[in-house]
Structures are given as structure tokens and as C-alpha cells.
Amino acid sequence: MGYKVVVVGATGNVGREMLNILAERQFPVDEIAALASRRSLGTEVSFGDKTLTTQDLDQFDFTGWDMALFAIGSDATKKYAPIAAKAGCVVIDNSSLYRYDADVPLIVPEVNPQAVHGYSKKNIIANPNCSTAQMVVALKPLHDRAKIKRVVVSTYQSVSGSGKEAMDELWNQTKGMYVPGQEVEPTVYPKQIAFNVIPHIDVFLDDGQTKEEWKMVAETKKIVDPAIKLTATCVRVPVFVGHAEAINIEFEDFLDEDEARDILREAPGILVVDKREPGGYITPVDCVGDYATFISRIRQDSTIDNGLNLWCVSDNLRKGAALNAVQIAELLGREVLKKG
Ligand SMILES: NC(=O)c1ccc[n+]([C@@H]2O[C@H](COP(=O)([O-])OP(=O)(O)OC[C@H]3O[C@@H](n4cnc5c(N)ncnc54)[C@H](OP(=O)(O)O)[C@@H]3O)[C@@H](O)[C@H]2O)c1
């Protein structure tokens, strides 16, 4: 016996990946529904070798469905997630709406699987921001060994993190550079993204950091340890898929780079690719379609007593969103619903 699963936002970047990953991992599905807005009514989406016809979220009755994987923006989530949850369907949400709610667990299954039992207060589980998800997979095993005091992270985030329209904007601007008359004004981003980098993701907060940067701080504290101090600079780069992060970590205890490499090699969800030679590291282009969080460039930071630097790359649509959500669904099935 399997589960009745709903994918909400099935026509989007994350929703399509959710369907792919549910099929790839042979999630025990008895019945599956693909939902999006009325605009997409009847649009066909793939689920393994099957084709699903998209239904209108607004008209859908969640009664009798086990879990709903949501990948729509926060505004629509605010309207529809409580309806699904109230109907008894557990919501696994990709938006930022519930991540900081004390009654909603925020889960990365490799890091804090035990938090799944907190789902029942609201019947909702939150999925973290893409840049947080891959980073905490790397931080947790190192924290368990040497206790992290402070993290300084700079991100290099692909445009797919802003949805399908942003991918079109990069593509059209890039083409416009070569085809006379095809130049495209920025609409998704405040400045040109093709052949450029933009040090601004999400809105600015009063203290000068952006909300994306704040999310990395708040989510790391909720998922790993509230004692960890973290400061981030989040940057959008002209890459279609795959986020990269340069991470500097200061520990309480000394951790040798070779031991850190061994710890990361053994850690769940991580693949270490760290040869000190040209090409001996992973780039965003290499990680697309993969499940792993890749770690390269592990090295001592000799400017502080207990410091390490590393380079962390993952497919933001997978570990950063859809894969993590499906892993949460697997965890929920295994630990709580126990049907599959
Ligand atoms: N991309 C990432 O790396 C990433 C990572 C973590 C979290 N997230 C979050 O995941 C969510 C989806 O992101 P995305 O990148 O997949 O966006 P996207 O490609 O723009 O897709 C948005 C999806 O939401 C649907 N939708 C929008 N408004 C709706 C409404 N009122 N009713 C029903 N469906 C509606 C769209 O349906 P139509 O096609 O019918 O418009 C589409 O299926 C966002 O909350 C985002 O913040 C994304």
C-alpha cells in the first residue's frame, strides 16, 4: 500500500523536479495529482513514463490525500496550505512562509530528521531555502566533531532559484547580446543578469542585509544549532542551475583539513571531489541533475586558530528544493504515516 500524493505547482521548476524525483526514487505512490493555477489547467507534465494533466488548485479537494508537496509562492501558499492541512493532508512546503514558525518543523533529513515528529501541530513541514539546505548538509558533520562558532559564507546562486521566468530572462538577455534588435530589458532582476553578477537576492532589510542572507542565518540556527553565528553575502550569477558557496568556518576545537575531508566523505548526502589540480573540483554545471552536495577546495584557514575553508556546490532545484522535499516525504512515510 502506498500514498496518495499531491504536487502543487507542478508546472514550475521545483514542481516538475518533484515529479521527476518521486518517480526516480520509486516513492510508493498509489495515486498522484498535479496541480497549478487555473492558467495551466490541462497542461501535461511528466511523472516517470506517465503523463499527468494539471488540475486547478483552487478547485481541488484535499480530503483523503496523504501528503501535498507545495512549490508555489508564499502568497498562494498562505491561502491554500491551511486548506490542505485542515483536510488532513500533510503539507511539505517549499516557500519561506512557515520556515520560522515555532510550530512548524524545518527539516533537512540528513541533519535533523527527528524534527519530523513536530509536524502534527499544524500538519505542515517546511523545506529550507536552497542556499541553506546544501550548506547545512556540510556543516552538520563538522559541527558534531569540532563545534562551529562562526560561519562566513558567500553564495553564487543560479537564476533557476528565482523561477522559470528568471531562466527565460537570462536566456533572452544572452541571445540579445548576439542578435541585433533582440536586447531585453531586465524585468525579473533589477539589473542585467547576463554576463554580470548581482549582489542582491530577495528584499533589503533595515540593517542592510537582504532577506536571503537573513534566511541563511535564521534557518541554520533552527536546523543545526542556535549558537552558530553566521554572516552571508548572497549573489545571483548568470548560471541556469546549480548554486555554489564559498564557506569559511571557525570552530571551537582544532580540525585538521585531512580529518575534515574524511568526515565529509563519510557524511550522508555528500560527495567530496577535492583534487588540488586544474579541474579537480566541482562547478555548478557538473552538479546538475545530481542528488549530492559536492564539497571541494577543503583547506585550513591559517588566519585563525581553528578555521577551514571549503567550496560547496549542489543542484538548487534538487537538494535545494525538490529532492529535500521528497526526502521529507520519505521520512514522514517511514517514521509517521507508515503505509509504504
Ligand atoms: N527554485 C528554487 O531553487 C527554489 C528553492 C527553494 C524553494 N523554492 C520555492 O518554491 C516555490 C516555487 O518555485 P519555482 O522556482 O518552482 O517557481 P516557478 O518555476 O515560477 O513555478 C511556480 C509554480 O507555482 C504555480 N502557481 C503560482 N501561483 C499560483 C496560484 N495562485 N495557484 C496555483 N498555482 C500557482 C505556478 O503555476 P502556473 O504555471 O499555473 O502559473 C507554477 O507551477 C517558491 O515558493 C520558491 O520560493 C524554490
- 204 and 101 in a common domain: no
- 165 and 297 in a common domain: yes
Closest CA to 337 of 99, 30, 11: 30
The single residue listed with the C-alpha cell 583547506 is 299
Ligand-binding annotation for 40, yes or no, is: yes
> Rounded to the nearest whole angstrom, what is the distance from the C-alpha of residue 282 to the centroid of ligand 1?
28
The residue segments making up the domain with residue 111 are 3-128+321-337
> Rounded to the nearest whole angstrom, what is the distance from the C-alpha of residue 278 to the centroid of ligand 1?
38
Q: What is the rounded CA–CA span in Å between residue 137 and residue 88?
A: 31
Domain total in the chain = 2
- 281 and 162 in a common domain: yes
Residue 340 pLDDT? 62
| Nine-digit cell string for 31 | 495515486
Report the CATH number that the domain containing residue 281 is assigned in CATH.
Answer: 3.30.360.10
Cβ(167) – ligand 1 distance below 6 Å: no
Residue 178 pLDDT? 76
- 144 and 274 in a common domain: yes
* Residue in 89, 143, 234, 243 annotated catalytic: 243
Atom of ligand 1 nearest to the CA of 38: 40
Ligand-binding annotation for 162, yes or no, is: no
Residue 198 pLDDT? 98
Amino acid at residue number 263? I
Q: Can 130 be counted among the known catalytic residues?
A: yes
- 67 and 154 in a common domain: no
* Residue in 130, 234, 287, 312 annotated catalytic: 130
Q: Can 312 be counted among the known catalytic residues?
A: no
pLDDT tens digits, one per residue of 193-219: 999 999 999 999 999 999 999 999 999
Closest CA to 49 of 70, 26, 15, 66: 26
Largest CA distance in the chain: 60
The best mutation among 21, 37, 160 to test binding of ligand 1, ranked by most ligand atoms within 8 Å of the C-beta, falls on: 37
What are the start-end ranges of the H helices in 51-190? 74-86, 130-146, 164-178
Q: Which residue has its alpha carbon closest to ligand 1 atom 22? A: 12
Closest CA to 335 of 163, 191, 125: 125
Residue 73 pLDDT? 92
Q: Which residue has its alpha carbon closest to ligand 1 atom 40? A: 37
- 154 and 296 in a common domain: yes
- 110 and 80 in a common domain: yes
- Binned average pLDDT, 10 residues per bin, the chain of 340 residues: 96 96 97 97 97 98 98 97 98 97 98 98 98 98 98 98 95 85 84 96 98 98 98 98 98 98 98 98 98 98 97 97 98 91
Atom of ligand 1 nearest to the CA of 16: 16
Atom of ligand 1 nearest to the CA of 320: 5
- 70 and 14 in a common domain: yes
Report the CATH number that the domain containing residue 65 is assigned in CATH.
Answer: 3.40.50.720
- 290 and 198 in a common domain: yes
The best mutation among 7, 14, 53, 219 to test binding of ligand 1, ranked by most ligand atoms within 8 Å of the C-beta, falls on: 14
- 239 and 213 in a common domain: yes
